[in-house]
Amino acid sequence: MTLLVIAEHDNTDLKSVTLNTVAAARKVGGEIHVLVAGSGCPGVAKAASRIDGVSCVKLADADHLKEQAAEDVAAVVLALAGEYSHIFAPASTFGKNFLPRVAALLDVAQISEIVAVETPDTFVRPIYAGNALATVKSADPVKVVSVRTTGFDAVACTGTAPVVAVEPPAASGKTCFVGRELTKSARPELGAAKVIVSGGRGLGSGENYHKVLDPLADRLGAAMGASRAAVDAGFVPNDYQVGQTGKIVAPQLYIAVGISGAIQHLAGMKDSKIIVAINKDPDAPIFQVADYGLVADLFEAVPALLNTLG
């Protein structure tokens, strides 16, 4: 049994979600290979070769893979698929984009966003916004699986696996990359942060969001998140959204400020170790999942919190 894990990267850095995905693959057992598909990315392959438990890194390096279009990444994976019993990818927007193409062309089901591995063909995954956990068994010859990375602790990087170059298939030519606007931030990534300060509609405006929450996030070295309401209202960009359809996070500490706690939001953060909620409405559903709840006006409580932290 050999498993293939698709690495997530930006041609320069290996993304940490790859380490969680390898952790999930290790629960299955067997030999693990990692595929790095991109352009000018031998550095990423080298980083991947250090991941514990990985016995081989396949590097598909070609100009047309630079933007990692779903069509092209799927084609690389399909060309290699015959050697593998399992194909794993992180359930990030990267993995969600290309992986179903792989499953469809292999004529197998995909098992999305697993949070546990029971046996090599049986997995646990949340459904209904995390209000239920389903244990599903696959009858397909190849298991195509996306991994909810918060469900698995990242493996360490102390190994030395060989890197083997593979020839990628030609470009699909049907997609043309136009551009990318990435949010620039010196803060930790939302998905990998130990502390997250998250804001909701209660902040009232984008200006207030930053005025109130930035100093707290700075003090705690936290990533910043938001509820859908705050994103829809334009306080912050889409990539801040935590929830069923946004990012799924599980930090050590999640501070929800002015977030009422719709089930769709709770689905994205309820696996956090400690949840703090600050809201002026004592009946807000967020208090039902919070370890520590404070009923207060956030415009007074957050500065006071900052003061007390010193």
Partner 1 sequence: MKILVPVKRVIDYNVKARVKADGSGVDLTNVKMSMNPFDEIAVEEAARLKEAGIATEVIAVSCGVAACQETLRTAMAIGADRGILVETEVELQPLAVAKLLKALCDKEQPQLVICGKQAIDDDANQTGQMLAALAGWPQATFASKVAIADGKATVTREIDGGLETLALTLPTVVSTDLRLNEPRYATLPNIMKAKKKPLDTVTPAELGVDVAPRLTTLKVVEPAKRSAGIMVADVQQLVAKLKNEAKVI
Tokens encoding 35:
């595929």
Tokens encoding 220:
């705690």
Of 2 and 252, nearer to partner 1 (C-beta) is 252
Instruction: Give the separation between CA 22 and CA 27, rounded to whole angstroms.
Output: 9
C-beta of residue 111 within 8 angstroms of C-beta of residue 144: yes
Q: How far is the CB of 179 from partner 1 (least distance, A)?
A: 5
- Residue 203, amino acid: L
Q: How far is the CB of 285 from partner 1 (least distance, A)?
A: 10
C-beta of residue 204 within 8 angstroms of C-beta of residue 234: no
Of 55 and 122, nearer to partner 1 (C-beta) is 122
Residue 284: phi and psi, rounded to 5, are -60, 135
Q: How far is the CB of 309 from partner 1 (least distance, A)?
A: 6
Q: How far is the CB of 52 from partner 1 (least distance, A)?
A: 24
Residue 123: phi and psi, rounded to 5, are -135, 155
The number of angstroms, rounded, from the C-alpha of 300 to the middle of its chain's C-alpha atoms is 33
Q: Which residue has the tokens 């030609």?
A: 170
Of 52 and 121, nearer to partner 1 (C-beta) is 121
Q: How far is the CB of 162 from partner 1 (least distance, A)?
A: 30
Of 154 and 253, nearer to partner 1 (C-beta) is 253
Of 38 and 293, nearer to partner 1 (C-beta) is 293
